[in-house]
Amino acid sequence: MPLLRRVFIRDLALIGAATAAPGRAAPHRPAPERQAELLTLDNGTLNVGIDRARGAAITWLSAGPGGGNLVNHADPGRLIQQSYYAGRRLDRRTEGQSSAWSPWSWNPIQGGGVSSWARVTAFERRGDRELYAETVPKLWDMADEEAEAVMRQWTGFEPGMPDVVVVRCEFESRRQPGDRWGPASLMPQEIPACYFVRAFDTFRSYLGAGTWRDETQPPGPPWGQCRPPRHAMACFARDGRGVAVYSPASTQPWNFGPHGGGASEDPSAGPCVHVAPIDRVLLGPRSVYRFRYWLLLGREPEIAARLDALHAKYAAERAELISP
């Protein structure tokens, strides 16, 4: 199977066989022992959180007050997180590589590897305006191998838009030149990888001026692909609630689609939905890659108005790659 298809099915290695029943569940909130691992920002309209125990990826996104969490966190390959690909695909099964993901490229994941969570080295709330974290990612195909890389992330609210989260990401590759994965090669990057609860399974690309295009895809993976003309896509539940992703640095068709059945709102369930804006990048052994994206909650007219405003401000924004 081509890499562009195969890299986005990694979560199946850990998905169970459970099937959720349709219908809206009560809001899910972390157990008291899990709350200590979360840093959250709550402005009364949105609540967003990063999780120290899960690579400091975004594991909480809800409408307040009292809204349920919309981020699926069933395993390290889910979440809303940074994920990158570079170099040759290698068979390392003699070193403990998962047989389900062999051969595999260099693939640092913010959440962690197939059976381990990533290590967080900085985890801060900066007043009531921003969350900051640094993560040493794991290589996805290995049980517990740290990548020679650092991920940094700044999470806050878009000024003047209390229902919009803005996330700034920075990835620093620290591979040794001439290592086994080889030189830079042009590969797809998820900017970011997003997994939401299964109930939000109506997909629409935003066309501007309040108009939308329905995108359909049977349960996967493989995921479907579409090219949102304004770099924005939303997932809606049957009652009209929506979550949208705006990623102006994306340059390729996006991956999207549901996995599993039912309409669960349990963030720890196997069934989920997936959205991933895609860029193609020559990510070398020593390089730095930066981009921003935005997350929105609301109903269709509210999301459309915010997307028009974001497009007016940021349509020309692109990712930055620094390679010696």
> Which pLDDT band holds residue 37 (cuts at 50, 70, 90)?
confident
> 276: domain CATH number?
2.70.98
pLDDT at 127 (0 to 100): 85
Answer whether residue 43 shows pLDDT above 80: yes
Return all residues near 316 (Cβ < 8 A) that are at least 6 apart.
248
Which of the four pLDDT bands, split at 50, 70 and 90, describes residue 31? low
pLDDT digits (tens, 9 = 90+) for 183-241: 999 999 999 999 999 999 999 999 999 999 999 999 999 999 999 999 999 999 999 99
Percent of the chain with pLDDT over 90: 85
Q: Band of the pLDDT at 17, cuts 50, 70, 90?
A: very low
* pLDDT tens, position by position, 285-295: 999 999 999 99
Given a cut of 50, is residue 7 above it in pLDDT?
no
For residue 15, pLDDT over 90 is answered with no
Q: Does residue 25 carry a pLDDT above 50?
A: no
Of the candidates 148, 97, 99, 138, the residue with the CA atom closest to the CA atom of residue 117: 138
- Residue 230 domain boundaries: 3-23+31-322
The per-residue pLDDT for 29 is 55
CA distance linking residue 96 with residue 81, whole number of Å: 24
Burial bucket for residue 253 (CB in 10 Å: 0-12, 13-18, 19+): middle
What's the structural domain count of the chain? Answer: 1
* DSSP conformation class of 260: S
What is the structure's pLDDT at 99?
96
Is this model's pTM higher than 0.85 or not? yes
Q: Which residue has the higher pLDDT, 126 or 28?
A: 126
CA distances from 199 to 16, 39, 261 (A): 18, 25, 9
Confidence of residue 64 (pLDDT cuts 50, 70, 90): confident
Spatial separation of the C-alpha atoms in residues 109 and 106, rounded to whole Å: 10
Q: Quote the CA–CA distance of 146 and 139 in Å, as a whole number.
A: 6
